[in-house]
Amino acid sequence: MAKVSFREQVLQAREDAIVDAVNRLLAEKGFDLMTVDEVVADVGIAKASLYKHFSSKEELAAAAMVRVLERALAELARLREQPGSALDKLKAVARWTMQVQLAGEMPSLPAQNSSLRAALTGHKLYMDRLLTLSDELGEWIGAAQADGSLRPDLPPEIVLYTLFARACDPVLALLKAGGQHSDAQIIEMLLTTCFGGLAGS
């Protein structure tokens, strides 16, 4: 059992507060428009202090991503204990993902930023969590394709990417901005289009 001093707890709490702020700002403005000055203003510390905890802006983004991936893994563990088919669980994951996004808690990173990509692919903890999540979802995808509840003719990676893409689906924000539907209605409709498609009978 690790001995954790009071001092270390305080530091940990401060890092949590930093990641909290980063997560919210990433969800609100995205990586490119988020500035480190905003983060420190939000937390109420000096910039130099932040750089004692995290060595770069990219590290901040990676920390936020690790935390949301671990939240997702916790959700998967919870679903694994629940009754229901593999397809049910995949739908539940998609629903959870969209709930997080609508709650303004989903960090959004631009896929085009190469320095950020390099930092993420070189980040051990981030890559580990991402691969673990992909593997666990891959098992459910395989099971659902085996029992025919998910199209067996689709490569599993397409299913996986399509589910991941729900986390940053711009349709969610557009519908929310329209103000015509409740969050729950938006999510259920997008679940319909995601799994059932746009086409009719």
Partner DNA sequence: GTCTATAAAGCGATAGAC
Partner DNA sequence: GTCTATCGCTTTATAGAC
Q: Which is nearer to its own copies, 128 or 188 (CB)?
A: 188
Q: x/- string (CB under 8 A) for its own copies, residues 97-126?
A: -----------x-xxxx-------------
Q: What residues from 139 to 168 belong to the interface with its own copies (CB under 8 A)? A: 144-145, 148-152, 154-155, 157-159, 161-162, 165, 168
**Do residues 117 and 62 touch, judged by C-beta distance below 8 A?**
no
Q: Which of 17, 45, 92, 102 binds DNA (CB under 7 A)?
A: 45
Decide if residue 61 touches its own copies (CB under 8 A). Answer: no
Applying CB under 7 A, what is the total number of residues that bind DNA? 19
Decide if residue 162 touches DNA (CB under 7 A). Answer: no
Please name which of 95, 70, 92, 94 lies closest in space to residue 82, comparing C-alpha atoms: 92
* The pair of three-digit structure tokens given for residue 187, joined into one six-digit string: 């999510």
Which residues have C-beta within 8 Å of that of residue 121, sequence separation ≥ 6?
Answer: 127
Q: Which of 23, 25, 26, 57 binds DNA (CB under 7 A)?
A: 57
Measured from the Cβ of residue 126, the count of other Cβ atoms closer than 10 Å reads 20
Q: Which is nearer to its own copies, 9 or 104 (CB)?
A: 104
Residue type, 59: E
CB-hemisphere CA count at 13 Å for 192? 9
- Interface residues toward DNA, by CB under 7 A: 11, 14, 34-37, 44-49, 51-53, 55-58
